[in-house]
Structures are given as C-alpha cells and as structure tokens.
Structure 1
Amino acid sequence: MSEGCFHCGQEVPASDEYAIEVKGVLHPMCCPGCAAVATAIFDAGLDDYYQYRTEKGKKQNLDTIMAQLDAFDLEEVQQDFVASQGKHKSIILSVQGISCAACAWLIERHLKRFSAISRIHVNTTTNRATIHWDDSQMKLSALLGELSSIGYPSTPFQVDSNELNHAQNTKQFLYRLGIAGLATMQVMMLAVALYTGYFTDLEDEFRNYFRWISMIFATPVVLYSAQPFFFSALRALVQLRVNMDVPVSIAIFGAFIASCIATVTEQGEVYFESVSMFTFFLLLGRFLEQRARRKAAESSSNLQRLIPLTAWKLKQGEPEQVAAKSLKVGDTILVKPGDTIAADGDIVFGQTSVDESMLTGEHHHVPKSIGDSVFAGSINFDQNINVKVTKIGQQQLLNTIIRLQEEASDSKPQIAHLADKLARYFVPGLLLIATLTYLGWHFVKPEDAFWITLSVLVATCPCALSLATPAALTCGASALREKGLLVRSAKVFETLPRVDTMLFDKTGTLTKGNWRLTQCIPMDLMSEQECLRFAAALERSSSHPIAEAFKPFEDTSVYADNIEHQHGGLRGVINHKLVALGNGKFIGRQQFDQNLYLSVNGTVVASFELKDELRADAKQTIELLTSKGIDCQMLSGDPSPKAKIIADELGLSQCVHGATPAAKHQRLTTLQSQGKVVAMFGDGVNDAPVLAGANLSVAMGSGSDIAKNSADLILLGEQLGTISAGLDVANKTVGVIKQNLAWALGYNILILPLAIAGWVPPYLAAIGMSLSSLIVVANSVRLLKL
C-alpha cells in the first residue's frame, strides 16, 4: 500500500492488516493505535473532523497510554491537580496533538456525548482543556481514555509554586493596571472639558466640579495602582539608598498632592490626567517587561513537568502503581517501554535505550544496561527495565539543573556590576539634575517649574539601564540550556568569548569512555573462543564500562563462581580453575598500555587489546574551534602513548599525557602566566583542581560530581560540538548586553535635555520610559531564538 496512513500520514505496511473500511471505502492505517482512533471517530459520527482538519493526527501507541491511566484514579495522585466543586470535579489537562480548530471541535463534540461531563472548553493556543465532570459517573482514567481513543493523549496540567506565585502576582498587577486604565479614560474626558474651558466661558463652579471629580478618579490610581512604586522606593530609602522607583514615586506623589492643593484652594492648575496616564503607562511597561522576562525563565520551570505523577513500584516482585512522590531511596521501580522514568536511579535488570533530550538537548537514544544511571524525566524505549531509586526530590538531576540555573541567574559578571554601579550613581545624579531644573525654571517661568521637573524625573528613570544586563543574561542562559549547556556561573558570558586556549582531558571527554575489543591474542594454551568466553564470564557481573566489550562473547555454558572485584581487575573460579582478568600490574606484569590480560591458575593465556572510542564529533569540534582562533591541547592523566596518537589524529597542537593532578595544575598556571585565557574540559575527580583554577571550566555531564561542582559550565550531552554553539551564544549575549546598555544610556542622554527644556510633557515622558525598557527586553528575548 503506497499511500500514507489515513490518520497520521506516516508510512503504512505493505499489507492492509490495519486498514479500516467505512461506507465502502478502505482507509489505510499504519498501526492498530491509529486504526482504533479512526474507528472511534467514525463510530461517533464525527468523521467531519477528517474533512476540516488542517494537519494530520499524531501516531498513537494506545497500549502504552491506556496502561498508565488507572493511576490517575488514585486519591493521592489527584489531590495535586483535581479541584472538587460539590459532586463535580474539575481539571485542566495538557492535551497532545492539538493542531487546529478542528481538533478542538472533535474533542468537545466527543466528550459532550457523555452525561457525566457537564462542561468542557478546549484552548487551541495553550493546548489545554478545562473539564468539569461527575466523578461518580465517570472515573478520571475513563475520561482520559476517551481522549486517547480519538487521538489526543492528555495529562493533568500542574502549575509549580513559582508559576503559581507568578500567576497570582500577574492577577494583582492586572487589577492595578485595569483601575489605572479606566481612571485615565475618565479623567482624560474631564480634562478635555477643562482645557476647552479656557477657550470658552466655562463657569467657575463647573470648572471646580470637574476638578473634584478628576481628583476622585485619580485617588485610587495613586493609592492603589501606584503602590508598587511607592513601596519599592520606601524600602530603598529605609536602607539609605535610592533606586529607580524613587524619582518615579516623587513624580507621581508630588503631582497628585500639588493638584489636590490646587483643587481645594481653587488656585493653580491640576494634572490629574497626567498622574493617571503615566501611572498607567508605567504599569503597562512593567507588565509587558515581566511577561517577556518570564518567557525566558519558563524553560527551566517547565522541566519540572517532565517528571511523571505515577510509577510502577515493585513489591515482592509484583508491580504496583503508586504516586511518584511517594518513592523512597532504595525502592525498585519497573519502567516499561514508552514510560517516562519517575526518579533517578541505577538499572538493576534489563537493557534498553533512553531518550535524554529533555536533559541534554541531544535527540538520539542513549543505550543503557545494568549498572547505568537513568534520570527522572527521560523516556525508556526498547525493553522493560528495573531501576533502583538512588535520588528523589531536589537531589534528582532535573531539579539540580533547575537549581543550578537559578543560582547562575543570581550571579553577575563584571559587566553587570558595571551597569549596577552606573544605575546606582545615575539616580542621585538624576535627582540633583531635577532639583537644578526646578530652581532654574522657578526663576524663568514659575508656573511650569514643577511640571517640567516632573517630566525630567519620569523621562530619565533608569529602568532600561537596570534591565539591560539581567534581561540578556537570563535569555542567554536559557539559550545555552536549549543547546545542552548548563550555566553554573554568569562569568561564562564574559569569559567564554575571550578564551584563546582550550585544554581537553582524554578519557571520558575526547573519548566516550566506552571500550570495545579490537583484538584477542591467545598464548597457544587456550583457543581464542575459550579465552573470550572465560573473560566474558568474569565480566558478566561487572558494571564497569570495559565489561560491555565482552558482552557479545557471553556463553551460558561457561559460568564463573566466587567473583572478586579488585582494583585493576577481577578474579573468579571457572571449571574449578582460578581465573583472573585485569591490567598488567594486576596479574603481575608491569605494563603501561591499555591491554587486559587473562590468566588461568597464574599463567597468562591471552591478552586483549581494547579501544576507547572517540566521540563522533571530536575531530570536527577541534577543527571548528581551531578555525575560530582557539588553541586546542590535550592534558590527560592517561600514561599510554596512545594518547599522543589520538592527539595527532584530532589535530591538537600539543599533548601532555600521564600527568598527575599537580602536573595538570602546573601546566595550567604556566599557560596563564603567558597571558592565555584558558578553558579546561574534564570529567574525573583528578580534573577538579585544574577545573577550579582555569579561567573557565567545562565538565562533562556524565563526569564525577566533584568535577561538576568545580565547573562553570556543564555539558549535559555527549556532543562536544555543543561548546562551539555555546561560544556563539555567549558572543551574541555579550553583544546584546552592549546594545542594551548603549540604547539605555543613549536614550537618557537624548531625552534629558529635551525634558529640561520643557519639550516633553509628563505623559509622553512616561510613554518614552516604558518603551525604552520594552526595547531592551525585546532585544534580549531575541537570544531565545538562537
């Protein structure tokens, strides 16, 4: 069958095994999942969906999806996302596969057929559905099953605490903004009457009446809407410092009090419309700014949602579905193909491949077997595996990534401290200029002195200057995270573009740390096959990476007893013979190579040549970095002369091998004394000192904890080329910071003389200040698209 699947469009098998016939027409299907979905849609009389949809549906794996749904009926699972309203319950679902309005129509029409569901609304923008239903008539698992049956697998939408706080703050901010907006419209209408009254004979009693009404409308704007500015300024003044809200607060409060005095005394002019208007524009600018900055931080908070709500916990060998948050260290969980792993742990049974792209940014499956670590949020693909939980809660890698990224956002590079220092001196300078402006205009045109001073205070508020660096750093860190680089220190952005020398460890950095057998050399005492089987029998129980090299040669008829794992090798008993496998020193031969030796009853019977495979993109990465003017060298603790061969193969300019941690550190300091800006790549405990001393340190995500704790940047995946992409992001981030600072300073330098000259009315000053801040944030958000 040559045409694609009728439901999802993917290639279909040569046979018509899964095709379904509707009204005499045979529709090809690629799998039983798509066939079941299409059948459900046709049986419900909703086949118009196929006529009006704008995109194909998603390929379905119904068996996997349905197997997970029963857990959602557990009360301890539901309490986090289901709200009870009398006999009804409500839930917000994240729905997969929504691509157009036809999808929303199909979902709503299908679920409305059930009397248990009282209300449903599908939002095609957010891919969420809000459902109210009677739990006594329909279980949540059944509801989710119905969605899955028509091709829209769904999971409960959960808001984390940060997002919840943000939502509450946004709601309150919108109240303030709404009141300011409504009041501004009303006061502006009254202001028009007052201004036109100067050109017509408006009686004094009406003029005073309009003033009083304007004051009534402006009062909630000042006392409620403008509160964030007042409280921020007050906190700063209590600490004997000034911030950018001080001039804003003086401007708003001063204009309001002056207008109130003019209203009560019936002398002078009132500017309630200006007070309301620039409060509104200030709030609008801050609101849009927060929205933009929040977008940059969402990638981190969304990681938390990758962890599933339930897990299959093994009790006496039998799986029982439990809430994932109830898991404890030491528990063993069953992870089926297609399931998301619920906790960090080590595989104790089975082998499979895992998608860790949500952690590393690399979209390929990583092979895993007994002894390998797996992480919460990654997806199991091939086979069932049993995982012994080693970390839960905040100790899990996913949460560690989020926490480290938050810590990095709190640290500041030198350029950020410079911007903070400028802003710190700018505000007192602004207040001084405003004072001089008032004194100057007081002698020239006293009636305009206050309002011109007001414009100076508002127009030159250094909001954009204060945002210039943190907005760019937040977006830059998020962009690096998408590339698979976790920033642990904000100095990455100013140091990485200046790096001219990169030092690479060999094992686990330039190479994968995955050994493979390239040659077996028997000593004529045993055949090659016998030697391989003996070695494989010893390595069968080992989780060391070298054991993988012998797995293809395992023979169930050859079994090793009494295996002892010792430094440098293993010992055991095979067929009543004492067998040892290890390096030359372990079996009594002084060797400085990577070969392993097999001995039987103390006699060496074979040697095995092993090769640690180079990372696929190592050579390309070195070439790319070299083309950018970076000197790449090897600094390895491996004593084998093969290190030099690898260095030559990769095109590294120098190779230092067999180096102790002290020697590595000495090499680093020598380069730094020559004026080099050095970045060090490492993954082991012995790399920690040199990582700590480098100008910039990069640790492999698969490396030791102590190496990662010493690093400024963690490469989460297995692709070395990520660092080249990170170099581009860092360069562009620094560029954006400089652009932001230039714009913020340039705007203030330009607007200041205009405001002092009296050419900028207060409301235009507020608009200009808000637009200046938004330009800075919008420029920073461009980094998210890299």
Structure 2
Amino acid sequence: MRDAHGVGEGCFHCSEALPPSAAVARIDGQPRRFCCDGCAAAAQWIRDADLVDYYRLRTEPGGRAATDLEAQLAAFDRDDVQASHVRQVDGGREVTVLTDGMRCAACAWLIDRAVARERGVLEVVANAVTGRIRIVWDPARTTLSAPLRRLAGLGYVPYLAGGIARERERRAQRNRDLVRMGIAGLASMQAMMFAEALYLDIYQQMPVATRDFLRWITFLVSTPVVFWCGWPFIAGMLRELRNHRLGMDTLIASSTLLAYFASVFETVRGGTHVWYDAAVMFVFLLLGARMLEQRARRIAVAQVDTLARARPALATRELADGGREVVPTAALAVGDVACVAAGDTVPADGVLLDEPARFEEALLTGEAHPVRRVPGDTVFAGTVCREAPARIRIEQVGTGTRLSQLEAMVERAQSHRPRAAQLADAVSSRFVAGILVVAALVYLGWRIHDPSRALEVTLALLVISCPCALSLAVPTALAVAHGALAKLGVLATDPDAMGSLAAATDLVFDKTGTLGSGRPTLARVEAFGVLDVEDATGIAAALERDSLHPIARAFDGQDVGMTVSGVEERPGLGLAGNVGGRAWRLGRADFAAGRVDDGALWLGDGATAAARFTLEEPLREDAGDAVAALRRLGLDVHLSSGDAATSVTTFGERLGIAHVAARQSPEDKLAGVRALQADGRVVAMVGDGLNDAPVLAGADVSIAIGSGAALAHRAAGLVLTAPSLLRIPAAVRLARRTRAIVRQNLAWALGYNIVAIPLAAAGLVTPWVAALGMALSSLIVTLNALRLARSPEP
C-alpha cells in the first residue's frame, strides 16, 4: 500500500521497514514516522529548506540517510584523492561523483537545490539517468566534503569511481559533435532556402544583383560549415594522404571541397550553377551518420566502461592497532586487510576473513543473485558486499586483479580489427581509387556531351558513391556484437573469434571443470603398505597444493602443511614431486603406481602403490540444457577427456553425447581436433585447464571457462566470465546473427553502389539528392547493426 506521497508503509523518507520505536517528525503538517534519526533529520531539513515538494514529485523512495561516513567523506579532501578526479575550472574546482540512491527526476531536483545552498558551492548538476552529480565549488570558501556531507545526509551516498577522465573526454567530444551538427543543420536549412529560390528561377528572370546576393549570402553561411563543422573529414583526409592511402575521408572531403570551391569560382565569375547546398547538406548528413556510428561504438564499449567504473577510488584499510583509515585504492598493498561495509564495492582481490558473506558478482560473472562466500574463499574487486560487512586480506592489486584482466581482455579485443573489417577497408580503399578514375572519365565525357553539366554530374557521382556504408558495414556490426557478447558474459580475446564461432560445425567439450562442476569430491580412500589414510591424503593434498586443476579441489581442507618441493605437472598423467624428502607421484595408475589404469587416482613412487583415491564429480546444473541447445543449433557435440573410460562414458550417456573419447592426452585431444578439421569441419573447443591450452590454440575457435587457468585464457578466443554453460549456445546464436547482419550490410552497400553510380553518371541525380542518398545508405547499415544490441539473454 502506498500513501499520497508515493512511498509505501515504512519510513517516510526511504521506505525501509520501521523499528518498534520509530522516530517521528511533522512534515507538511502531518506526523510522519522514520526508520532512524538520520532520515528524520533529512526530512526536517527538507522541510526547513522549503523543498517539501520533493515528497510530492518523487516516484521512488529516497535513499536511507547516512550518518556514519565521516571518515570516508573526510578522505575526499585529501590532495592524493582529488588529484585524479578533480580538475580546475574558472573560479574553483570541479568533481563528478556517483550515487546509487538517485532514482527519479525528483531526486535530481532535490540534489540540485539542496547542494547549491551549501556555502562555497558554485554549480550543481545531477543526472538521474546516469547517477552522476557534477559539483563546482570554491576551495577558498569550503571543502569538498561539506557539500558531500549534505548529499549523504539526504540519503545519496557519494563515491568516486574509475573511468571519470574517460567519461569527461567522451562528454566533451559528444558536445563538440553536437555543436558541429547543430551549426551544420541550421546552415543547411538556410543554404537550401536560398538554393530553392535559385532553382525556381527556371526562366532566368531573377535580377543578376539578387542572384549574386543570394549566392554570396550562401557563401557566408557555407564557409564555417565546410571548414569547421566538416573539419573532422578534412583532417581525416590529410591523415590518409600522409599515410599514402585512399579512404572514406578522402572521398568525403574532396567531394565537399570540390562543391565548395567550384561554387566560389562560379560565384566570382557569375557562372550558371553553384552547389553550396550540396556541400553543406553533405557535411550535415555525414555528421549525423557518424554520430550514429559513434553511438553504436559506445554501446560496444559499454562493458569496458562499466568495468572501469566498478573499481572504487577509496578503500578502508585496517591498521595494526585495530583502527581504520580511508586511503586511495591505489595505496592498498598485498597483505593489507580491507574493511568493506555492506553495500560497498570490494577494492581489490583477496581472501575473505572471519565470517561468511554474500557478494553480488553480476558484473564479473553475470550471476544475477548474490553468491555466498565463506572464510578462505577468494572475492574479487568490483563485486559488491551485501547484507553484512566483510574483512578481506588483499592478495592482488592494480592490474593483477581479475577486474583489470577482464577489462584488458575486452579492450584488447576491441582494439584489433578482424579480418573481415580489414578486408572491407582494403576494398574501400581500392573502391575510392576506382571512383576517382571513373569520375575523371565521366567529367571528360560530359565535357564533350554537355559542358554546362559536367561539374554537376561529376560532383553527384563523387558524393553518391562515397563508400561510407561499405566502410561501416562490417566494423559497426562487429563492434555492437562484441558489446552484446560482453553482456552475455562472454569476452572475446581474438577479433576473429565471432566469425569462426558462427561457422562452427562441431563443438568439443572437456569434462573435468567444464561439463563437470569442477568440484570433485573424495568418495573413497584406500591406503596400502605403511601409510594410513590420513598420511596418504596429506601427501596428495601437499602435491595438489598449488595446482589449478579441478582435481586439486577434492583435497581442499586436507592439507596438513607437509613440506613439498620440485612439483611438476605431467599433462594427461598427473603430478610428481618431493614430499617430506621422498619422491611421490599422484595420477593415473600406470604413471603413479605401475599398475593397469583403472580410472582412479593413485599415489605411489612410480612402481609401488601407496594409496588409491576414488573421485566423484557431479555434472554442472546447466550442462544438459546447454548440450541440448547446441544440438538444436545443428552442432555435433563431442566429449574429449583425460579421465577414465567409465567416467567419461557415463557423462556422455547422461548428456546424450554420442562422440566420446577417454584417456586423452593434450596431444590426443589436438589430434582429434585436427582429424575433424581434415574432414572439412569447423571445430570449437571448450576447456578450462592448463592441459587444454594446446587444443584450445589448435581449434578454429576456442572457449575457456572463466574460472580456469590463465594460460587457457591466453590460448582461447573467447572466455566465459560466468559459470553458466548456457552462454555458449547464446554466443553461437549471437555470432550467427552477426554474420547475417554483416552479410545484409555488405549486400546493401554493394547493391546501393551498383544502382546509384550509373544513375549519377547518367546525370539523373542532383548533388544534394546524392548527399541524401549516401547518408541514408550509411544510416541503414548502422541501424541494422544496432539490432544486435538487443540480443536475448541466455
């Protein structure tokens, strides 16, 4: 039930549950109940400031007023904190802070008015859509913490995050583009209005003075459009010419400058035609098309921006005497203990101490629900602590965190150009060269046939043939697709991975840690000779201590601290090393104990058996659904594992996988993939371990499980950041849609040019119509590519 002010039963300010002894205050002439004194004080301040309209206008409850943030707010005044987030402006300083509590326009309205009343605050702009608040203040009159204290007191807890500089530069670039486009749009309307009067003078009855006046006015209007609004294209042409290549900017700028200077020449000499309208329309329409392209690219890099902003700028560090201090996140070092309050973001990778806690990992893994972690579990930077505070011993900082590694993988993939995009660029370059030759021939032909129209027809040909659509067809679609792929929880590390995945005919799964849960358990332990079960388990746990293989998880909690040295991993066989001064082997029976392989895990010295471990690994919950979805997509699914035949066959039968191979070494797995490729199949491989790296690198496209080894990630073209295998068929569907969109875009771009160029060469298209057609062509391929942003969730 909601009251007249738009909040439900609960605290009048934040709508949270009321305690038995709720605080009460009179607001707007009526007694209201609050969950705490902080919310009551915030409401009273709003009343005293005559801003009670906030409660009438809001559509969502406010945030709970914070009263225990003094240490964090005081840290905002430190020079080392402000150094990377604050910039100097006329009359003061500017900072952009984020808040999660701003949920509606009324919140932004309240923040604008409340913070603006603080002493020394020069300007406040709150954006309810992005959750950002820009504050300009005079440091001679107030500290930054003062207006932020007011924000927190109203329930809008401020915090700094990474990516501010990138966002500021993007905002400045967007503003420049909007100004360029706005000026070009206004000038285009004026130029077209003047040109219309000249076009309608069919019988040449307009006085020469009037005609020249309209032309000179159009010249004045067009000049800033061509040389300022169109400067990005001119600058691009200069870069292309310096690099000795012809591209889209060369054709755009040369067409625009040809129309402009030819018009100036005709204006000065009093010639028959001018084409100012075509020049300004060309610039305006191309700016619009380029802004749409940039929007598509912003959608593609949204995941990178989200990752960058997820790293908090401040962290609370525990001191040796038990006290706490707020420091920049960059000041954290390995071994420090970070204190994370409920609702705050983890600043660095570390191990959870003391008590179990739940962490929201949606950003890193796509997992929608908070995940419960117990002491000893690893928690990652960028995840959000929920329900209860946590203490974390830092183990990775800076670029070593998983958050930074994911960010680097996405940026690396997006900075590379796939082969398809490189091919489109090469075609565009040759196309431009060919069009310039054709334009010269068309000009000569029209000079012979009708000299008065030679320049007009040539100009229309150059404009209508601009390969914008061809140049945008592939990269725009791939950029949007990579952004959609990241939202699915799949990161591309190889720019060509999407194309290969779309063409895949066979998909090969590893078993342990891939189709299996990755958490095998010890079902039975048998000891032989002088060792008892505890000693044998302790030796095995010591050998597995630093292993990343999923089998090592079966010995979690069994390590008794035995000294170990010289551990080596023998891919497909097991581990060898010295424990307590004695050489041991752990792995297959023929490798560890000199016995016939029976599928169990054996401990021995290579000739004599000391213990036998029977492991059980359950299926991943979604493995069956994922395999069924892949088969529905027409893929042949294979299972290739280094485990024993009995275990692998059982897995295959439970999942309905007909093609099963057991006891496969890394070389055997790679040979199996090569055999499929030799039959003309396109093979995708899914794995997670170090021993999967060779076959991941050898497959046409490879997918590494995000929780697996770093070497596997480097060898793979795609990395699953989430544990769900259902993201694999979702990625296949997206890759196939991307391939279809790219083909549609290329077909449109080529078809458009095949039809448009002959029409222009025949003199059937005027320059301004050519500009419109070219812009519409670019618009069509961009909008078609943006369809990929609406990819369904797995």
Q: TM-score range by the shorter chain?
A: 0.7 to 0.9
Equivalent residues of 1:72, 1:78 under 8 A apart: yes
Query: 2:570 aligns to what?
Result: none
Does 1:386 find its partner at 2:408? no
Deviates more, 1:269-278 or 1:303-312: 269-278
1:698 CA displacement: 0.8
Residues 1:79 and 1:734: Cα distance change in structure 2 (over 3 Å): same
TM-score, scaled to structure 1: 0.84
Counterpart Cα distance in 2 of 1:709 and 1:466: 30
Residues 1:197 and 1:777: Cα distance change in structure 2 (over 3 Å): closer
Runs of 5+ in structure 1 lacking a partner? 555-559
Does 1:228 find its partner at 2:232? yes
Query: 1:767 aligns to what?
Result: 772
Does 1:509 find its partner at 2:514? yes
Task: Report the residue type matching 1:632 in the other structure.
Answer: V
Residues 1:37 and 1:614: Cα distance change in structure 2 (over 3 Å): farther
Task: Report the residue type matching 2:309 in the other structure.
Answer: R
The SS at the match of 2:617 is: strand
1:710 CA displacement: 0.6
1:588 CA displacement: 7.5
Query: 2:126 aligns to what?
Result: 122
Q: Output aligned runs, 1:529-608, within 5 Å.
A: 563-565=562-564, 592=598, 594=600
Deviates more, 1:326-335 or 1:620-629: 326-335
Counterpart Cα distance in 2 of 1:265 and 1:713: 63
Query: 1:91 aligns to what?
Result: 95
Q: Output aligned runs, 1:219-368, within 5 Å.
A: 219-316=223-320, 318=322, 319-328=324-333, 331-345=336-350, 352-368=357-373
The SS at the match of 1:613 is: coil
RMSD: 4.3
Counterpart Cα distance in 2 of 1:87 and 1:435: 57
Counterpart Cα distance in 2 of 1:86 and 1:258: 44
1:657 CA displacement: 2.3
1:166 CA displacement: 3.9
Counterpart Cα distance in 1 of 2:341 and 2:585: 35
Query: 2:489 aligns to what?
Result: 484
Counterpart Cα distance in 2 of 1:510 and 1:561: 31
Query: 1:416 aligns to what?
Result: 421
- What do residues 387-432 of structure 1 show as CA deviations (whole Å, max 9, x unaligned)? 3333423x44333333322332344445434433432332233223
Equivalent residues of 2:339, 2:389 under 8 A apart: no
2:159 to 155, 161, 164: 155
Residues 1:201 and 1:361: Cα distance change in structure 2 (over 3 Å): same
Residues 1:7 and 1:693: Cα distance change in structure 2 (over 3 Å): farther
- What do residues 256-276 of structure 1 show as CA deviations (whole Å, max 9, x unaligned)? 232222232234333333333
Runs of 5+ in structure 2 lacking a partner? 3-7, 568-574
TM-score, scaled to structure 2: 0.84
Deviates more, 1:678-687 or 1:35-44: 35-44
Counterpart Cα distance in 1 of 2:164 and 2:60: 32
Counterpart Cα distance in 1 of 2:499 and 2:541: 51
- What do residues 621-660 of structure 1 show as CA deviations (whole Å, max 9, x unaligned)? 1122122222222211234732332232222213322221
2:654 to 649, 656, 672: 649
1:102 to 102, 106, 109: 106
- What do residues 704-732 of structure 1 show as CA deviations (whole Å, max 9, x unaligned)? 11111110111111111110111111111
Deviates more, 1:476-485 or 1:488-497: 488-497
Query: 1:557 aligns to what?
Result: none
Does 1:636 find its partner at 2:641? yes
1:254 CA displacement: 2.2
Does 1:458 find its partner at 2:463? yes
- What do residues 338-366 of structure 1 show as CA deviations (whole Å, max 9, x unaligned)? 33222334557765443322122222334
Task: Report the residue type matching 1:445 in the other structure.
Answer: D
2:43 to 41, 44, 52: 41
Counterpart Cα distance in 1 of 2:671 and 2:470: 42
Residues 1:229 and 1:113: Cα distance change in structure 2 (over 3 Å): closer
Query: 2:5 aligns to what?
Result: none
Equivalent residues of 1:476, 1:784 under 8 A apart: yes
Equivalent residues of 1:592, 1:639 under 8 A apart: yes
Equivalent residues of 2:688, 2:708 under 8 A apart: yes
Counterpart Cα distance in 1 of 2:703 and 2:484: 17
1:299 CA displacement: 2.6
Deviates more, 1:141-150 or 1:459-468: 141-150
Counterpart Cα distance in 2 of 1:92 and 1:228: 29
Counterpart Cα distance in 2 of 1:144 and 1:171: 27
- What do residues 96-118 of structure 1 show as CA deviations (whole Å, max 9, x unaligned)? 23333322233234334533434
1:304 CA displacement: 0.6
1:521 CA displacement: 8.3
Deviates more, 1:235-244 or 1:585-594: 585-594
Equivalent residues of 2:601, 2:615 under 8 A apart: yes
Task: Report the residue type matching 1:754 in the other structure.
Answer: L
Counterpart Cα distance in 2 of 1:370 and 1:193: 80
- What do residues 130-174 of structure 1 show as CA deviations (whole Å, max 9, x unaligned)? 323455665434433432332322324665555454444444444
Equivalent residues of 1:49, 1:102 under 8 A apart: yes
Residues 1:441 and 1:551: Cα distance change in structure 2 (over 3 Å): closer
2:760 to 755, 762, 779: 755
Task: Report the residue type matching 2:215 in the other structure.
Answer: R
The SS at the match of 1:699 is: strand
Counterpart Cα distance in 2 of 1:207 and 1:369: 83
Counterpart Cα distance in 2 of 1:43 and 1:61: 12
Equivalent residues of 2:352, 2:374 under 8 A apart: yes
Counterpart Cα distance in 2 of 1:390 and 1:727: 33
Residues 1:185 and 1:498: Cα distance change in structure 2 (over 3 Å): closer
Counterpart Cα distance in 1 of 2:395 and 2:355: 15
1:503 CA displacement: 1.4
- What do residues 76-121 of structure 1 show as CA deviations (whole Å, max 9, x unaligned)? 1112222455885432232323333322233234334533434323
Task: Report the residue type matching 1:617 in the other structure.
Answer: D
Residues 1:107 and 1:658: Cα distance change in structure 2 (over 3 Å): same
Counterpart Cα distance in 1 of 2:700 and 2:728: 15
The SS at the match of 1:92 is: strand
Counting aligned pairs with the same residue, the percent is 35
Residues 1:196 and 1:610: Cα distance change in structure 2 (over 3 Å): closer
Counterpart Cα distance in 2 of 1:571 and 1:671: 40
1:303 CA displacement: 1.6
For this pair of structures, how many residues does the alignment match? 762
Counterpart Cα distance in 1 of 2:433 and 2:626: 50
Deviates more, 1:750-759 or 1:702-711: 750-759
Residues 1:64 and 1:115: Cα distance change in structure 2 (over 3 Å): closer
